[in-house]
Amino acid sequence: MSGSWQQERHGNDISSGSRASDEQIVEQVRRAVLTQRLPPGTRLPEVALGEAFGVSRSVVRKALTRLVANHVAVQRPNQVARIASPDVDETREIFSARRLIEGEVVALMTGSLTQALRQRLAALAEAEKAAFAEGDEERRIEASLAFHHCLAEHSPNRTLGAMLGDLILRTSIVIALYKPADLASCYLEGDHDDLLAQLVAGQPDAARARVQTHLNSLEALLDLRTPTGAIDLGALFGRGQSLSQADA
């Protein structure tokens, strides 16, 4: 049952020992969720987390509270917190909200990219392409996420940028949940390059449209037909998940 946290514990860069603050815990968990090392429904027991990060439950609780507020985790009274696993309706809503907000963000950025930012985005798009060519899906996801995250961080409107950051995270969750098992990668060739071209070309509405079709394509890759949580277990068995997300 305890399962996945052991992986976290010594499997990768999380914590590795002593004295993390709640800020660091949320950041680590967010990164783990983004890179899909923490699948939807994963249990997040306070004590286990505390031991993993070398702190007591107090700080873990604070971190969990923040994660719940960000819709990264869900918490029902007297039950262990879990990584959120939104149903299909919420998934569609998340994509819809993200189309709106990321569209606006890129529209606002269009034409005013610094040289450094343009180069960074280009490098990220290139890195994604390279990783895909090599078949390194994990690195490809990381680059793709970094691309979008870069947009969020450099949003002229920081409020929208923060919202976009949360939405990107939630998108990662639902992708992990609803990606068809037979789909090797969610790579959409050239989309990021095209978007970048629009961003520097200086056509806000065109850039907005680019982002929205990009997100539409992404959503279209997902298997959103299940009538909400019914065949859920079947889907879970399809991929190699442990029982850590039993009753999600």
User: Contact with DNA (CB under 7 A): which of 133, 181, 201, 246?
Assistant: 246
Under the criterion CB under 7 A, does residue 58 sit at the interface with DNA? yes
Sole residue written with tokens 């907005």: 208
User: Contact with DNA (CB under 7 A): which of 159, 225, 227, 247?
Assistant: 247
User: Contact with DNA (CB under 7 A): which of 57, 118, 158, 239?
Assistant: 57
Give the number of other CB atoms < 10 A from CB of residue 103. Answer: 20
Question: Which residue, 20 or 131, has its beta carbon nearer to a second copy?
Answer: 20
> What spatial distance separates the first Cα and last Cα of the chain, rounded to whole Å?
14
Q: By the 8 A CB rule, do 195 and 207 touch? A: yes
56 binds, among DNA, a second copy, none (CB under 5 to 8 A by kind): DNA
- Element (DSSP H or E) covering residue 81: strand 81-83
239 closest CA partner among 3, 39, 30: 39
Minimum CB distance to DNA, residue 237 (Å):
17
Under the criterion CB under 7 A, does residue 17 sit at the interface with DNA? no
Spell 32-68 as b/e; 16+ CB within 10 A means b. Answer: bbbbbbbbbbbbbbbebbbebbebeeebbbbbbebbe
| Binding region for a second copy (CB under 8 A) | 61-62, 65-66, 69-70, 90, 93-94, 96-97, 100-101, 104, 157-160, 163
Q: By the 8 A CB rule, do 94 and 171 touch? A: yes
Minimum CB distance to DNA, residue 72 (Å):
15
Question: Which residue, 94 or 146, has its beta carbon nearer to a second copy?
Answer: 94
User: Contact with DNA (CB under 7 A): which of 26, 44, 163, 176?
Assistant: 44
* Residues forming the site for DNA (CB under 7 A): 1-2, 19, 21-22, 44-48, 55-59, 61-62, 75, 77-81, 246-247
